[in-house]
Amino acid sequence: MNRRTFLESSLIAAGGFALGPSPELVGQRSTQPSRQGSGTTDKPMIGIQVGAVSFVDEGTDKVLDNFQEMAALNTLFLATFTYGRGIAGRQPRGNPLPDHGKQEYDDDYHGGIFSTPHSQFYKGTSIVPEKAPDHPNYDVIADVLPAARRRNMKVICWFEDVFRKEVRGFDRAAEVDLHGRPTTHTCPRNPNTRNFWLGMVEDYLRSYDVDGLMWGSERQGPLNNAIGASHGGGGNPSTVGCFCPHCLDAAKKMGVDAARARQGYTALEGWVTAMRGGKRPADGAFVTFWRILVEYPEVLAWERLWNEGLRDTYRDMYRKAHEIAPSKGIGWHLWHTNSFAPFYRAEQDYAELSKYSDFLKVVMYNNSGGPRMAEYIRNIQGTLFGDLTPEQTLELTYRLQQYEGEKPFDRISQAGLSADYVRRETTRAVAGVSSHVKIWPGIDIDIPTRPSEKKTETEDVYAAVKAAFDGGAHGVLLSRKYSEMKLANLRAAGQAIRDLKLA
């Protein structure tokens, strides 16, 4: 039996939907997105992100029964590693607790590995694989997997690039900034970082019979960070990276002059500081920014260098996962900045990503997307688009991102982005990837926003799920975590799935 025949039979034997066949199968399978749920092999993926705390608080069987009954869910994305609060833990204090789960804030949330770390897989890294102390005697995969199997549900390990700098051995994996100081992020090129992720891929796939893996890195390169091109903290040009020895070495191999790159980023640091301080050069913001780029093209080369480090991580994880379990899928969570910043979007090339992806969860959170878009506009208008007003910057962004009919600047935080944005982004992703790559839009349910900002309503969830399938999605992924979702909103997703006759 050759590899291709083996893969095909294992896909058929596996039943249900295939998470992602190998690229060798391209052209042999239907390229049409599945919308009817008729065949067993093209059933759409209806998934939810859920952390350990929900099973501990509410009981595994009860949670899974609810998932099936309320939202016809068939796939669980278990948060298996993170130090962040976005996908694990309960609601952080300051946000109302939803109508299920323990009615108590977990202020002492810590994070880490929520399954059982098997040390033999982490020999090549300085980073110590830390069992999350939040649930010291609980292994979320070992607990949920058999219960999911009994219900014919799939289990995906979902882990992300979020650390605490206090983790033992982190210091030997840290990114180094423009001024030679360690940052609170890992360098994607550092072997300690790479081997940590590869060890984790191997640990999940060899220690448990899970159905696939999803990893996410909500990070971008030094140029985008310097100008604050995201909805995050607005960037800080003095802490951009990476200038560690591994990256300097990679630059040399690529023929990029590190000293010139450093000079360019120092010039950019001065420029951003002046812009933020309200200084307006006679030639304006845009022209003086562009002047730095043409004077120091190494600034752009360093942005590419950083991205190649991340792409190599994807490539290596994909290769490792397919070596161990060729019929199981591995794919990526693509950060929400993709929806706001054309700079980041340019670096998320769907055709390129297709070479090392079985599926993509493209974040299309339309509710929190409103306030987040406004935040991005404030950040980028404070630097690169200082010649424009925030209103004009948002108009320009809508044109560049090819959105239509979205709300103006004074209403976007309260109104959110539309379901049509979800449809457009789905269509763009489906058109951009090779036919073997599944597109599973991330739909937001009750992601915390400030009191005056857009909150998720049942009709929003219903419309967004419908829009995703209308755009050709192969599934949907309800995000970010069950422990922040209201049950009525989860039911609204289920209503859309049933009305579409997908369940």
What are the residues binding Zn ion (CB under 5 A)? Answer: 187, 189, 242, 244, 246-247
Closest CA to 341 of 442, 447, 218, 243: 218
DSSP string, 177-232: BTTS-EEEEE-TTSHHHHHHHHHHHHHHHHHS--SEEEEE-----HHHHHTT-SSS
State yes or no: cis peptide before 491, omega within 30 of 0. no
Dist CA 289 CA 25 (whole Å) = 46
Measured from the CB atom, the residue of 187 and 384 that comes closer to Zn ion is 187
Closest CA to 456 of 487, 425, 477: 487
- What does the buried/exposed string (b/e) look like for 290-323 if buried means 16 or more CB atoms within 10 Å of the residue's CB? eebeeebebbbbbbebbbbbbbebbebbbebbbe
Q: How far is the CB of 309 from Zn ion (least distance, A)?
A: 7
Measured from the CB atom, the residue of 140 and 305 that comes closer to Zn ion is 305
Measured from the CB atom, the residue of 242 and 463 that comes closer to Zn ion is 242
Q: How far is the CB of 244 from Zn ion (least distance, A)?
A: 3
Q: How far is the CB of 268 from Zn ion (least distance, A)?
A: 18
Q: How far is the CB of 402 from Zn ion (least distance, A)?
A: 34
Measured from the CB atom, the residue of 99 and 249 that comes closer to Zn ion is 249
Q: How far is the CB of 310 from Zn ion (least distance, A)?
A: 11
Dist CA 466 CA 418 (whole Å) = 12
Q: How far is the CB of 63 from Zn ion (least distance, A)?
A: 40
Measured from the CB atom, the residue of 242 and 377 that comes closer to Zn ion is 242
Measured from the CB atom, the residue of 175 and 484 that comes closer to Zn ion is 175
Tokens of 7: 């893969």
Q: How far is the CB of 130 from Zn ion (least distance, A)?
A: 23
- What does the buried/exposed string (b/e) look like for 84-98 if buried means 16 or more CB atoms within 10 Å of the residue's CB? bbbbbbbbeeeeeeb
Measured from the CB atom, the residue of 12 and 254 that comes closer to Zn ion is 254
Dist CA 407 CA 42 (whole Å) = 36
